[in-house]
Amino acid sequence: MAREIQPQPQNQLTRALAELRARTPARLVVGRAGSSYRTDTQLELREDHAFAVDAVHSELDLNRDFDPQLVASYKLFEVQTQAHDKAEFLKRPQLGRQFSDEARATILAHCPTDVDFQIVVGDGLSSAAVVSQVPALLPLLAKGAQARNWSLGRTFVVCHCRVGLLNDVGALLRPRVAVLLIGERPGLATAESLSAYMAYRPQAGHTDAQRNLISNIHARGVPPDQAAARILALADQMVAQQISGIAIKEELTVNLDGKSVASRLA
């Protein structure tokens, strides 16, 4: 039987290639069996898919999943959208864009309105992302707001939350800048990737055109300290220009250490 199996590529990786390969989580240099994957690759992919699917369906529980100290120091509390469970949340996205009546009452009872900077945490499609990234991100953002003399709203956690909830946050609390830290759809490489969606004076009718996004906040993407710096820089721009969305362009290139690579290549 003819078999087209290549020699183990791992053994022949030059050092330079190995170093380069370490810079991306992409599945490179895996070899091939004809025009297909080697068996190891095939099964690794199946394994990662199994875990990603599980991450979508796991529920967030503030008291179980967060350090009690963090919950206490930021007086975090948990509310729900109009989606009752994950299945309904997946099928009917509009329910995840609106607070339940109970949530509205709770938020109004506990949160100051008309603040300069409001941080909201939403589970989105991965509670694992929220659990992994928010504990590092939240203190950095709070510190940044303090350094700018901004009034900071009280942060709360929203279960079954979609990005469009930002409009409802605006209607309820009227913040100047709102940041929604929300779990991204789990990929095979990581289920711990968080997004920060931001809006200047969010309100009914806003779409993604009025929002700015920093995505891929996780250990191998944008680490929390860089994410916090970028979120705050965007907030500065929003405050200065009194607008958010496509009119605002990020000027930071933190992953490139600010050096002008373009000029070296031009």
Partner 1 sequence: MTYSTTVRYQRYTFVSLAEVFAKANEEKSGDSLAGIAATDQRERVAAKRVLADITLREILDTPLIDPANDEVSRLILDSHDAAGFAPLAGLTVGEFREWLLDDATTGETIAGVQQAIAPEMAAAAAKLMSNKDLILVAAKIRNVTRCRNTLGERGVLGIRVQPNHPADDLGGILLTVVEGLLYGCGDAVIGVNPAIESVDTVAVILHSLDRLITVSGAPTQHCVLAHITTQLAALERGAPIDLLFQSVAGTQAANASFGISLDLLREGRERTLEHHAQRDVRWIGQNVMYFETGQGSALSAEAHHGIDQLTLEARAYGVARAFAPHLVNTVVGFIGPEYLYDERQIIRAGLEDHFMGKLLGLPMGCDVCYTNHAQADQNSADNLLTLLTAAGCNYFMGVPCADDVMLSYQSTSFHDGAAMRRLFGLKPAPEFLAWLEERGIVSGGQLAIGDMATHPLLGELQSLIGAVDVR
Report the site for partner 1 in 19-38 (rule: CB under 8 A). 20-21, 23-32, 34-37
Q: In the bound complex, what is the minimum distance in angstroms from residue 240's beta carbon to partner 1?
A: 17
In terms of CB distance, is 134 or 214 closer to partner 1?
214
In terms of CB distance, is 107 or 163 closer to partner 1?
163
CA 180, CA 213: separation in Å to the nearest integer? 10
Report the site for partner 1 in 99-138 (rule: CB under 8 A). 125
Q: In the bound complex, what is the minimum distance in angstroms from residue 229's beta carbon to partner 1?
A: 12
Given a contact cutoff of 8 angstroms between Cβ atoms, the answer to whether 170 and 203 are in contact is yes
Q: In the bound complex, what is the minimum distance in angstroms from residue 126's beta carbon to partner 1?
A: 9
Please state, as a whole number, how many other Cβ atoms lie within 10 Å of the Cβ of residue 135.
Answer: 15
Q: What Cα–Cα distance (Å) separates residue 112 from each residue in 53, 151, 161?
A: 37, 10, 21
Please state, as a whole number, how many other Cβ atoms lie within 10 Å of the Cβ of residue 220.
Answer: 13
- What is the side-by-side strand order in the sheet with 177-183? 78-80, 156-159, 117-122, 177-183, 194-200, 211-217
Q: Is 58 in the site for partner 1 (CB under 8 A)?
A: no
In terms of CB distance, is 52 or 158 closer to partner 1?
52
At 118, list the tokens: 């409001």
Q: In the bound complex, what is the minimum distance in angstroms from residue 218's beta carbon to partner 1?
A: 7
CA 127, CA 158: separation in Å to the nearest integer? 11
End-to-end, the C-alpha distance of the chain in Å comes to 53
State the binding string over 220-259 for partner 1 (x if CB under 8 A, else -): xxx----------------------xx--xxxxx-xxx-x
State the binding string over 149-188 for partner 1 (x if CB under 8 A, else -): -----------------------------------xxxxx
Contact stretch for partner 1 (CB under 8 A) within 15-23, 98-106, 111-119, 168-176: 15-23
CA 18, CA 28: separation in Å to the nearest integer? 10
Report the site for partner 1 in 64-93 (rule: CB under 8 A). 90-93
Q: Is 17 in the site for partner 1 (CB under 8 A)?
A: yes
Q: How many residues bind partner 1 (CB under 8 A)?
A: 74
Given a contact cutoff of 8 angstroms between Cβ atoms, the answer to whether 244 and 200 are in contact is yes
Please state, as a whole number, how many other Cβ atoms lie within 10 Å of the Cβ of residue 260.
Answer: 10
Q: Choose among 158, 261, 236: nearest CA to 228.
A: 236
In terms of CB distance, is 67 or 250 closer to partner 1?
250
In terms of CB distance, is 151 or 216 closer to partner 1?
216
